Amino acid sequence: MADEEKKSAADSDVAELDLDGGDADLESVMREAVAAVEGVESGAGVEAGDTSSGGDTDAGNAGDAGDVGKLRREIADLRDRSMRTLADFDNFRKRSERERQEAKRYALLEPLRDFLAVVDNLERALGAQGSSDDLKRGVEMTLRQFQDQLRRYGVKEIPARGEAFDPAMHEAVMRQEDPTVSRPTVAEELQRGYMMHDRLLRPAMVKVAVPAEKTVAPGTGGTGGGIPIL
């Protein structure tokens, strides 16, 4: 019974680790395991010393000493396995970080490879001999090719001209009054905007038409002079 209580106490010491919550740091847990094993090992050593220093030499004491020795060997084996696991985890973390940095560094490899064909066509257009109309047609074809590549990667144009002004998508740099509109409306697109999937790449730079401001006619209770009503 005494042997079982010793092993139960040792197992309890090794198992008392902070594993609460799904966000527990695995490395901290492993280091706690190693510290717990070392603590149990130290306690077992003290107990073995106390047993050997006793004056009793009967068979019961000899059996206790044998059990303590077995427990110490088990603890040493657990400590060795814990240290190996901790080392493996450290190597895995370092390898994962290297792979993450490499993926970040070469994330644009495939898109840039596809856009090299557009660069080739632009260089051919610049080196071609022909009229300005031929050059224009070549540039238009290259632009279409570039736009096709953008669409392949989820990039799309933001609708602008004639659309209701949306400050989340449009950047107003000019405004004009227009009696034909009832709400702020994009009258002219000065620079095209783009989305990538559901994220904004660049807002469209636009000129906004706003409803004309109402004025108070002279002699109708206002102060006269056509002062705008805000």
- Domain containing residue 221: CATH number: 2.30.22.10
Count of domains forming the chain: 3
Same domain, 82 and 9: yes
Question: What sign for the dihedral angle of Cα 144, 147, 149, 152?
Answer: negative
Same domain, 42 and 114: no
Domain presence at residue 36: yes
pLDDT the model gives residue 122: 86
Buried b (16+ CB within 10 A) or exposed e, 38-50: eebbebbeebbee
The Cβ of residue 158 has, within 10 Å, a number of other Cβ atoms equal to: 20
pTM of the model: 0.55
Domain presence at residue 230: no
pLDDT the model gives residue 220: 55
Tokens of 189: 């697109």
Tokens of 72: 């110490």
Residue written as tokens 């636009």?
Answer: 206
The single-letter DSSP state of residue 228 is: B
Residue written as tokens 């994009």?
Answer: 186
pLDDT the model gives residue 157: 95
The Cβ of residue 166 has, within 10 Å, a number of other Cβ atoms equal to: 15
Q: What is the CA radius of gyration of the chain?
A: 39
Each of the 230 residues of the chain gets a pLDDT tens digit; together they read 445 554 454 454 444 444 444 444 666 666 666 676 666 656 655 555 554 444 455 555 666 677 778 888 888 888 888 889 888 999 999 999 999 999 999 988 988 998 999 999 888 888 877 788 888 888 899 999 999 999 999 999 999 999 999 999 999 999 999 999 999 999 999 999 999 999 999 999 999 999 988 665 555 554 444 334 33
Beta carbons of 160 and 206 less than 8 angstroms apart: yes
Sheet containing 155-157: order of strands = 155-157, 194-196, 199-202
* Amino acid occupying residue 56: D
Same domain, 149 and 166: no
Same domain, 120 and 64: no
CA distance 224 to 221: 8
Cβ neighbours for 189, distance < 8 A, ≥ 6 positions apart? 160, 161, 204, 205, 206, 207
Same domain, 22 and 65: yes
pLDDT the model gives residue 99: 93
CA distance 209 to 211: 7
